[in-house]
Structure 1
Amino acid sequence: MLQLGHFNHICQTMSLPLCPLVGPVESRILSSCMARNLDVGGYLIFNPGTLAVYIVVIIITGFIIYCTRTKYTAVGREEMLCFFYVYLITVFVEFLLISGFISLPSPAYPWFVGVQLGLISGSIWCLLLNGFVGFQFAEDGTAFSLWSIRISTALITLVVFILSIGTFKDWAPWLNSQEPVLLWLIYYVLNGAALVLYFILQVVLILNTLVDRWPLGVIFMSAASFIGGQVLFNYFGSEVCELVSHYTDGLFFTVLATLFSVMMIYKYWDSLTNEDLEYSLDYQPGVWDHEVKGGIITWEGERLLKW
């Protein structure tokens, strides 16, 4: 069970980058079930199965960003791009930590973990602010809308980064690596509350403004996938690892579940957007064809203008 202010349970079920940095020094532990590592030319790659998934996530997220960029007139396009960019950077930093490219003995390790935790909170905050875009509290695409999201996301990321580093290095009595209560509250309570609020906002938006209920199913699929991944992440990581004979661990499936959740968020946003005529009409041969006959311009057999 989760314990207030303690990461012991989650660190027993799954290897997280922050696990070697928090908790009582004498009892800081790794997961009870470790995924197999891969030796490539004398270089040890940790958890290769999960790393392969991270590569897939990076590729798919890049494709989502490309698709979002092409929707020139979609509502909240630039705001959603901000979220996808932050999510992509978060995945890349996690990839460096999980793979062992930034190893535990490295002096940079706690700093990268701090960046990771900051980016997680920053991406969730950015998503939450995107949840307000549909209510038109501010005109989407304007400088106020964009920079309020960008600046506040950067501030949230920076604040959580500083608090994380302060916790790892015991800067204050309330920033204590052996009792990381504040970090735990940020990681579970604040991030969780922001996600719950985002999904509630989207349900309210759909029920109050849309006739079509299809987006409601999409947003429920996103929420269900994320919740399922987190349940697996927090409670069944070791069981999954044992079940697949240590070839991977629960993080493999958690990353997949989170990716699917993000894909459904994109699909949900895409289903809400209505683009202008020039971008949404299919070309039909002859629609724009015209000819001149006897001083009359004709359009599909109808007289439009007489000289």
Structure 2
Amino acid sequence: MGSTAFGNFNVRRALASKNASANHLHQAANMGRSTGLLQGFDLAGLQCTFTDGRTEAWHAAPDLLSSPDHDQIGPWGGCQLTGIPLSGGQHLGNLGSIILCGVAIVAAALMVLKSEKKRAAVGRREMQLFLLCYIIISICEIFSVGVFPLNKSVRLAFTSIHIGMIIATTWILMLNAVVGYQLIDDGTPLSMCLMLLSAAALLIGTGYIALDTGFQWTGYWNSSYELPNRNIALYVLYQLVPLVFLVAFFVLETILVLRVLGEVRPMVYLVAAAALFALGQVFNYDISKYICDGTSGKIDGALFETLFTLLSVVMVWVFWSSITEDDWPMQSTSTYP
């Protein structure tokens, strides 16, 4: 039996390990950008073509790959994020996003430590793995979305890792939802190895495509440097696949909480996490252009996307914590007169 704060549910045996406890979940892997309305994807991330023919400009991690100088300046137009001017003609593109990424790293590290204290929680190690991946994404975002002044090759490397980590982290997120069903024992070498190896395969595959696009090793993706700057492979891997993983995570967790645990209250936290994440995407896709124009390129919607994604991750951790036990129940002992 697996014990949670809201009741018991049948699971496989072998919950006697330290890492056992209840259900699982996490949200947000800072997927970056996700929408089902895009018809074409500008590899620069600054221009997307909708099914109704509209084109709008945004800033995203892949904008650094197909730009001639691997920055956010290119032939696609739109509001240019200039941020804070520095010496030598350089700019600190998105100071707000950089600061919030620092806050996200600290917050995620604290949640990793708090998770360590929940010794009876099902999926404790898997949750910590998700949070560690989120930390890596936040570090990469400082140098990609944050437009931190860097050497071109270094910026390309951070951008490629950023894109690869997004799909790997959302995959880990989805697997964390599966962990709650206890198909295999959580926290075991088998569980962790399967999760790490499959995520590594996605990271390496996606990262290679991004690196080959940026460095033009084989020339296979060179067409993305020509207007309308489309790269179908990165569009699918960066936009569509993570969205599928996120939807699967939400559905699996909803079934687990409502049907297996028979509770409703935890759904408040899960829905809040999904709403915060969606709100971040609204700022990133629909409002970003107006923020950029209104501030003369000082900031854009990426700042708010980073903020709401962080809040979403925190709410997911609160959700997970609310349905798992902190420690093993104390066994009652009989006393004799």
Tell me the equivalent position of 1:187: 238
The letter for the 1-side match of 2:271 is F
1:248 offset after TM fit, Å? 2.4
Tell me the equivalent position of 1:50: 97
Listed one character per residue, the Cα deviations across residues 19-54 of structure 1 (whole Å, up to 9, x for unaligned) are 142389995446505253154899853322221111
1:116 offset after TM fit, Å? 0.9
Return the TM-score normalized by structure 2.
0.75
1:14 offset after TM fit, Å? 3.0
The letter for the 1-side match of 2:218 is W
Listed one character per residue, the Cα deviations across residues 62-118 of structure 1 (whole Å, up to 9, x for unaligned) are 111111111112110001111100110110111133444452x52222222111111
1:243 offset after TM fit, Å? 4.2
Listed one character per residue, the Cα deviations across residues 223-249 of structure 1 (whole Å, up to 9, x for unaligned) are 111111112212220212344565422
CA–CA distance in 2 between the matches of 1:48 and 1:23?
21
SS in 1 for 2:153: coil
The letter for the 1-side match of 2:59 is S
Tell me the equivalent position of 1:152: 198
| Runs of 5+ unmatched residues, structure 2 | 1-36, 49-54
* Pairing of 1:25-44 with structure 2 (within 5 A): 28-29=75-76, 31-34=78-81, 36-37=83-84, 39=86, 44=91
Stretch moving more, 196-205 or 105-114: 105-114
**Which has a greater percent of helix?**
1
SS in 2 for 1:236: helix
Tell me the equivalent position of 2:38: 2
1:22 aligned residue (43, 51, 66):
66
CA–CA distance in 2 between the matches of 1:9 and 1:42?
25
1:249 aligned residue (282, 294, 300):
300
Q: Percent identity?
A: 25
Tell me the equivalent position of 1:293: none
Greater C-alpha radius of gyration: 1
Q: CA RMSD in A?
A: 3.1
CA–CA distance in 2 between the matches of 1:24 and 1:41?
19
Change (3 A) 1:253 1:3: same
CA–CA distance in 2 between the matches of 1:28 and 1:127?
36
SS in 2 for 1:4: strand
SS in 2 for 1:223: helix
CA–CA distance in 2 between the matches of 1:15 and 1:48?
14
Change (3 A) 1:240 1:102: closer
1:220 offset after TM fit, Å? 0.8
The letter for the 1-side match of 2:57 is T
SS in 1 for 2:277: helix
The letter for the 1-side match of 2:84 is N
Give aligned pairs, total: 285
1:239 equivalent to 2:303? Answer no
SS in 2 for 1:260: helix
Instruction: Check conservation: 1:75, 1:140, Cα contact below 8 A.
Output: yes
The letter for the 1-side match of 2:62 is L
1:166 equivalent to 2:212? Answer yes
CA–CA distance in 2 between the matches of 1:17 and 1:166?
15
